[in-house]
Amino acid sequence: MAVIGYIRKHSAIAVILVGISLVAFLVGPNLIDWAKNALGYSSGPGTKREVGIVNSQSVSLPEFEGFTLKNAEQKKINEQKADLTSEEIFTLKEQTWNQRVNEIIMGEEYNALGLMISADEMIDLLRGSNPHPLIRQYFINENGQYDPNLVVQYMQNLDRMTPRDRSQWESFKEFVYNDRLNSKYQTLISKGYYFPEALAKMEYKYSSDIVEMRYVAPKFTEISDSLVAEESTDDEYKEYYEKNKHKYQQNSSRDIEFVVFNILPSDEDLQAIEEETYEIFHDWTYANNPGEYVNNIPGNIYDSSWVGPEELSVFIDSVMFNEDIGIYVEPYKEGQAWHMARLMDRQIRPDSASAEHILISYQEAFRANPNLTRTKEEATLLADSIYNVIKHNPSKLQQIAVVMSDDGSVANNMGNIGWLKDGSMVPAFNKAIIMGNKGDVSLVETPFGYHIIHVIDQSEPRKKVRVAQIEIPIEYSSETYDQYYSVASRFAGENDSKEKFDQAVIDQGLDKREATYIREMQQNLPTFTNTRQIVRWTYWDDREVGDVSHLFDIGGKFIIATYTGSREKGEVPYSLMKERLVNNLKNERKTDYIFEKINELGTNDIYAIARAFNVTVDTNASLTFYARNLPGYGMEHNVIGQIFTYGQGENTGIIKGNAGIFIIEIDNVYEAPELGNYDSYINQKLMEFNQRVMGNFPYKALEQNADIKDYRRYFY
């Protein structure tokens, strides 16, 4: 009965899944994948609406989306963007995931150590005598000094700010809180590090003792392959692999091969577009309002901004700066579009201006604080009075802005909004700073309210033009799309195995491409955009080598892929390593050959060995233990380490290196004299350790040892 009751309670889900299953039987398995994902029943392990698990702590999909949305809003505020691109959003999701993993791991670490920030400490960080460095940087008075009163004034005005500005302040406080916690953590680790004098003496000797030597080293590359056995046995390969497999690590990745069907306009499409373009141009030349006409053409908006020389297409740049105002440029092809243009105006004006301002808003103004009670009439009187003060004494603007301005950024810039590009502000504001003069103080009204503006500086004026342009994309028609879709879908439907796929590529003369080492959270295939869906397909749980994908529509292209291979995170399997070990085993055989030949000589005399192998005797008069390379041979840690175990006048005998076999004569060992103290070496090591702590090495170690399960591929 309990089972029946459960089914009744979840009958809606059952009906949906049955319906989807019936449809999926007809259209393929990918719809099932989509449905499972959408309903939270993805085939990934433990993925019911979870994007991941970090040290047993679940990161739910709603939680992750909330963090991502918050970070997106913050990014738009910081970069003054209305929207983010799909690429920026995907990157932001990656950053949000890393941020959330960091918060969970470090939160556990802080709790285990008892680290916290008290309420009193937080208040001191925001408006105390020794606040957080960012507070000290942003809240400064007219003398350039930090003023805690400005912080208090700002916090008292929070209720009058927009929700967006209040949210930004909360994010700022969160950053200050976490930054101080991390600072405490790093200090705790740094203060727990001790470097004894005995080790400092060793550091001194390793960097200061010098060996002067002569040596001979037949290189592996100078021994002909014909002098050694041609091939190692499979047992020898396996033995070598087992001894060294810890050195061969790899990350998870996937490989595919794929074909691309590029959708190109037909001859009929091109002819129709050209005829349409010339019809539009003809009508434009007779339009009463050329600027408004541009707005009536789909995909086009009249851009009234001013541009300078060489900022326009080479097809029209010279015409716009030399011909009469009102001239039209006939349609021309550039890129994948037809273009036409009209010169609307020409002026001498600066490219940008530096300004500071005070905003006085009111109830009905655009983006006004919903809690603002000031009427427009009251705002007019207040703006006039402030304008009269600033006009006679512009130096007071920033001081008044901190207290009176309704611009949410005033806490960070005290009214100074820096250099602004011509056309970047609303028209009335833009006109005041560009068409006015350096030093001007003006009062202008915009949809945001009243602005008291002081022009601090302007760039050098130059000739600029205002141009109306129309662009008609050269695109394929829906009929052409349908034709390509029919061909591509037939290819995908008829070639559902790797063998059929490869044969069809040959029969149809298609260009088969490949993408290797695809990472799980890679956004796109190389040189392609909008291909995240293909990456996800390669990582689906039941994916097998030889699978052929459905048709992917990535905008202007159809792609069909076949899954060709994978690599899992960890040690590289022997089957994949064998080919890479050929040279290593060959060098092992050359080592045996050199050993045997030297033994036949019956001597370790470096000159006799040099003659036997037809090589020269090298010298080095300043080798230290901390050296990593031997000139001409590259990195030879093992050889250098063994050299310092021998004394003056000794012969090392045979030492195997990375590049060859070394026999060395130690001519002199110069031991550095004892020092009175080793504080400089101790301080150097402490500084190096602190740099690693500041470089986030402790967190990297914690992350490496954390149990992290990443299920994001099921959702993004």
Task: Give per-residue pLDDT as tens, 239-250.
Answer: 888 888 888 888
CB distance 664 to 655 below 8 Å: yes
Q: 446 exposed, middle or buried (CB, 10 Å; 0-12, 13-18, 19+)?
A: middle
| Collapsed DSSP state (helix, strand, coil) of residue 629 | strand
Does pLDDT of 230 surpass 80?
no
Q: What number of other Cβ atoms are within 10 A of residue 471's Cβ?
A: 17
d(CA 487, CA 483): 6
CB distance 641 to 618 below 8 Å: no
Residue 355: closest CA among 409, 423, 434:
434
Residue 85: closest CA among 72, 96, 100:
72
Does pLDDT of 41 surpass 50?
no
pLDDT, residue 502, reads 96
Q: Summarize pLDDT for 413-464 with one digit per residue, the tens.
A: 889 999 999 888 898 999 999 999 999 999 999 999 999 999 999 999 999 9
Does pLDDT of 51 surpass 50?
yes
Write phi, then psi, for 337 (nearest 5 degrees). Answer: -160, 155
List the structure tokens of 41. 């029943």
Does pLDDT of 391 surpass 60?
yes
d(CA 443, CA 454): 9
Q: 408 exposed, middle or buried (CB, 10 Å; 0-12, 13-18, 19+)?
A: buried
pLDDT, residue 12, reads 35
139 or 418, which is more confident? 418
pLDDT, residue 353, reads 94
- Alpha-carbon distances of 169 from 125, 135, 286, 461, rounded to whole Å: 14, 12, 54, 39
Provide mean pLDDT across the span 505-522.
95
> Quick one: angle between helices 163-191 and 679-694, nearest 10?
150
pLDDT, residue 146, reads 83
List the structure tokens of 518. 């695809």
Residue 488: closest CA among 530, 550, 536, 547:
550
Q: What number of other Cβ atoms are within 10 A of residue 449's Cβ?
A: 24
Provide mean pLDDT across the span 189-205.
93
pLDDT, residue 8, reads 28
pLDDT, residue 18, reads 33
pLDDT, residue 48, reads 61
pLDDT, residue 101, reads 96
The top-level CATH class assigned to 352-459 is alpha beta
d(CA 101, CA 58): 10
pLDDT, residue 439, reads 93
Does pLDDT of 6 surpass 80?
no
Mean pLDDT lowest among 230-234, 539-543, 569-573? 230-234
d(CA 23, CA 34): 13
238 or 112, which is more confident? 112
d(CA 484, CA 474): 17
Q: Summarize pLDDT for 627-672 with one digit per residue, the tens.
A: 989 999 999 999 999 999 999 999 999 999 999 999 999 999 999 9
| Collapsed DSSP state (helix, strand, coil) of residue 10 | coil
CB distance 513 to 534 below 8 Å: no
d(CA 519, CA 136): 43
Q: Where are the beta strands (DSSP E) in 268-401?
A: 328-334, 337-349, 352-360
Length of the chain: 716
Does pLDDT of 545 surpass 70?
yes
Quote the mean pLDDT of the chain: 88
d(CA 706, CA 56): 10
- pLDDT classification of 24: cutoffs 50, 70, 90: very low
Does pLDDT of 36 surpass 90?
no
Q: Summarize pLDDT for 658-709 with one digit per residue, the tens.
A: 999 999 999 999 999 999 999 999 999 999 999 999 999 999 999 999 999 9
d(CA 477, CA 252): 41
**CA-angle at 263, arms to 258 and 269, nearest 5°:** 170
pLDDT, residue 681, reads 92
pLDDT, residue 21, reads 34
Provide mean pLDDT across the span 193-217.
94
Mean pLDDT lowest among 5-19, 268-282, 297-311, 350-364? 5-19
Does pLDDT of 103 surpass 70?
yes
Does pLDDT of 183 surpass 60?
yes
d(CA 223, CA 661): 11
Which long-range contacts (C-beta less than 8 Å, at least 24 apart) are formed by 310-315?
A: 312/465, 312/467, 313/339, 315/339
Amino acid at 144: G
Does pLDDT of 23 surpass 70?
no
pLDDT, residue 203, reads 92
